[in-house]
Chain A
């Protein structure tokens, strides 16, 4: 599989890596405000980003290196079922359009930095806010780890690091360097670094996809041939399961899983702390809305990328190798098909594609810790400068944690946790989105619903077996009552909502204390320029 180091590709890769490193450090001076010590500056880029930057930032954030490796890998492995990422990312935008402008408004009015800030302010419950914060951190950690898995795949195919190299230090050195650099500029520049690097990342990705989707089919004899060969490959029966490997269109029994996965993932995606961070860093409500009309360009790109999975299969990548690591399929396809220098560009695109979201995710997780654990529970009188310092240090710790995770444990552990993370984060939906539209839900009912959803989702996911693993073998299982196979996260979510509604009725009948709501109706529609909505928030706002 590996024929030594690909020198030209490696040189191009290193060149782009150096460019973004310089950019990352320069970003600290970009659009700098006077009040640099406030958490809004480091953690939200001064809340000043306009349409263009938000577009790149959100795109760089939601479509990660892992997506670029995993989506085509899923298509490569099983065909149609891996394509659910396309309807999933189509459905995300109408949801963002509907929900997030309200979150933007109320956050600007009250100086909220995280979703947990909002939940605490709306429901007057530190417990519920803590639950949301912990869920966010837990769900984000494995996501960061998977970005490393994405970089590893690229390094592996280039013949640097990984593999069977004898010494663990030599083996992991490239990854350690990449992450050391990432950690350093995130620490010094905050959210401005990934925002600036996202420009480079997306330009590279768009070029690579455009070339790949035209050049590779020409080399492989057109889409007719590609799909014919892929169809043959999927039809082959897997001796381990006695079933065909996959199919080109989902059969009757697979359609529920396809639809529920798309819907559940779409609902979960903008619950993730990193998507919220990118949204809150924008300058106005209008920037968010306008962006939802142009962000689907990324979904188109994702669809084209997914097609590369068929091309990898048709071109014979990994054919005949038992236990071939599907994660390597796309990097390997690039290496086989492209001249070395362009393969280097493609690898750089994936590598940098990992750095941007990893930086945003670690900032988002750090903000959650600082605002909703450190400030709420450990040091209520922390100054904004202290908050920023804690956030910076935590963003480092989060990344180190992810690194240790990837280096010491099997890759499948990270993937299992990522799967669980999606199920978990979806359970914060009722508190957040419910809270954006109504104060009817009771805070204790929301907490109980969250707990039930978390427990159910974890327990069922644990019980899913696949030919390769006994537990966490997939994200779908039988839906009780309906009897079809569906996404576990969505089933847990429905259960969560049912518990929340029932308990709200009960608690209201018992007149349980509701907590203080510090928001008012007008806060949810306030826009930049309205009274009380400052561009630069006053120090310590919202407390």
Chain B
């Protein structure tokens, strides 16, 4: 799929930025689908079993990771538009 940069006049499909952004987007899948890693009751947080507060914590973590991916992708898109002009 990807072409070496600069040879075809079209920017490459796979760039370091996109790889990092992709990793940011994949991390929540690993964390949430590995159910065994959090299927337990302790340690508790203000009386809430681990299983529940841990998953709610991931709402924030995944939101932050998506935001990081968003910032990276947007920066690259802008740079490309500048370059194209």
Contacts and interface: CB of A to CB of B under 8 A. Distances in A.
Given A83-B55, A94-B62, A293-B70, A249 B33 contact: no
Interface in B7-31: 25-26, 28-29
A300 B59 contact: yes
Interface residues of A, number: 40
The residue in B25, B52, B67, B74 that gathers the most chain A C-beta atoms within 10 A of its C-beta is B52
Nearest to A250: B39
Contacts of B60: 296, 300
A87 B58 contact: yes
The residue in B35, B49, B51 that gathers the most chain A C-beta atoms within 10 A of its C-beta is B35
Contact of B70 (A80, A225, A292, A296): A292
Contacts of B28: 90-91, 94
Interface in A302-346: 303-304, 307
Contacts of A294: 63
The residue in A93, A249, A250, A297 that gathers the most chain B C-beta atoms within 10 A of its C-beta is A249
Given A249-B39, A249-B40, A90 B47 contact: no
Contacts of B66: 93-94, 97, 292-293, 296
Given A93-B66, A98-B25, 9 more contacts: A90-B32, A94-B29, A97-B66, A250-B39, A255-B35, A259-B34, A262-B32, A296-B60, A303-B55
Given A249-B39, A255-B35, A86 B55 contact: yes
Contact of B51 (A83, A93, A222): A83
Interface in A239-256: 248-252, 255-256
Contact of A248 (B47, B49, B58): B49
Nearest to A86: B55
Contacts of A251: 39
B70 A97 contact: yes
A363 to B, nearest CB: 28
Interface in B40-60: 40-41, 44, 46-52, 55-56, 58-60
Contacts of B4: none
Contacts of A98: 25
Secondary structure dominating the interface of A: helix
15 contacts: A83-B55, A87-B58, A91-B32, A93-B62, A94-B69, A223-B48, A224-B47, A248-B51, A250-B39, A259-B32, A296-B63, A300-B59, A300-B60, A303-B55, A307-B48
Interface string B60-80: 101101110110011000000
Nearest to A228: B47
A80 B34 CA distance: 15
A293 B73 CA distance: 13
B25 A255 contact: no
A258 interface: yes
Contacts of A141: none
A289 B73 contact: yes
A337 B60 CA distance: 30
A278 B75 CA distance: 26
B56 A300 contact: yes
A227 interface: yes
Contact of A87 (B26, B55, B63, B74): B55
B49 A227 contact: yes
Interface in A58-90: 80, 83, 86-87, 90
A223 B49 CA distance: 9
A469 B25 CA distance: 40
Contacts of B62: 90-91, 93-94, 296
Nearest to B71: A293
Contacts of B69: 94, 97
Nearest to A307: B52
